[in-house]
Amino acid sequence: MELIFLGTGAGVPSKGRNVTAIALTMLNERNSIWLFDCGEATQHQILRSSIRLSKLEKIFITHLHGDHIFGLPGLLSSRSFQGGDTALTVYGPMGIANYIRTSLVVSGTHLKYPLEIVEIDGEVVFEDADFKVICRELDHGILSYGYRIEEADKPGALDAAGLSALGVKPGPIFKELKEGKTITLENGIVVDGSQFIGPAKKGRIISIFGDTRATESELVIANQADVIVHEATFGLEMGDMAGEYMHSTTVEAANLAKKAEAKRLIITHISSRYSREDNSELVSECREIFPNTEIATDFAIFEL
């Protein structure tokens, strides 16, 4: 699983940062890619990455400001031309369906794949046997969500050495024991598979935030996450402006990660007032509070 940052700027693109789009690649887990937000020129950014639109399964939109959605109609259209024929689902706040459908109708765009649009109504956005996505409303003046992606726990490893000592040979029996079944061997020994399975491997938790001011509701999304992706539009010295424009500072993102007892923080959505040379200062402000902090740049890849 990897996070690929396709755009890490705020509001308007700059020479060094495009506007927001983050890909979560899950090729080993489900042979697909999820996209979080789709700012203008996201499809151009994808051309410079390893991402294939045909693998795109779901798009989660945090809110309807232009720097998070203006790339969506073009990307949906291009997916048809690039061989995408599997179903795609877009999740987002109320109004996302009207925006997408109007854009496609007015431009005369016909998609060659099934498109489902889900306007969020409730805390659980998506759930299957492997992943659960929940959301919580943030504080940005417009309806803006944070998403928490919870991976299901994986069964523990089978104690093959212990079974071999009992005379159990690898094969179909191992599969049954891995499922926790009890079997009787030819020599009469009864083997309880659950006794030969190690502790479950805890699933990963990824928290991805839309634009927001610091708010207590963020803790629900961030609690004990393996990684938090949070906006840090402004540095410490711009706290008043951050509050006025309903954004977060570096230290607010870091304080959230610390309070949430998260393992890792990645800051993004950096104002165009900051150049690449300012990155070290911005990340240092976070590390004063939460040491395991990194700053995202366009095309940066973080392995999870």
Q: Is 140 marked as a binding-site residue?
A: yes
**Residue 213 in contact with residue 157, Cβ under 8 Å?**
no
Give the integer Cα–Cα distance in Å for 239 and 295.
19
Q: Output DSSP code: residue 54.
A: G
Beta-ladder partners of 58: 34, 89
Q: Is 110 marked as a binding-site residue?
A: no
Q: Is 269 marked as a binding-site residue?
A: yes
Between strands 227-231 and 205-209, the pairing is parallel
Give the integer Cα–Cα distance in Å for 240 and 264.
26
Tokens of 110: 């016909």
Dihedrals φ, ψ of 117, to 5°?
-120, 120
Residue 273: CB atoms within 10 Å: 13
Give the integer Cα–Cα distance in Å for 64 and 88.
19
Q: Is 211 marked as a binding-site residue?
A: yes
Q: Is 68 marked as a binding-site residue?
A: yes
SS3 at position 151:
strand
Closest listed residue to residue 111, CA positions, set 84, 81, 80, 83: 80
Element (H, E) at 91: strand 88-92
Give the integer Cα–Cα distance in Å for 103 and 86.
21
Cα–Cα distance list, 218 to 120, 200, 207, 214 (Å)? 18, 28, 10, 8
Catalytic site residue 128?
Answer: no
Which of the residues 37, 67, 128, 139 is marked catalytic? 67
Across 138-269, where does the E strand assignment appear?
145-151, 182-184, 190-192, 205-209, 227-231, 265-268
**Binding-site sequence positions for Zn(2+):** 63, 65, 67-68, 140, 211, 269
**Binding-site sequence positions:** 63, 65, 67-68, 140, 211, 269
Which active-site residues does the annotation give? Answer: 67
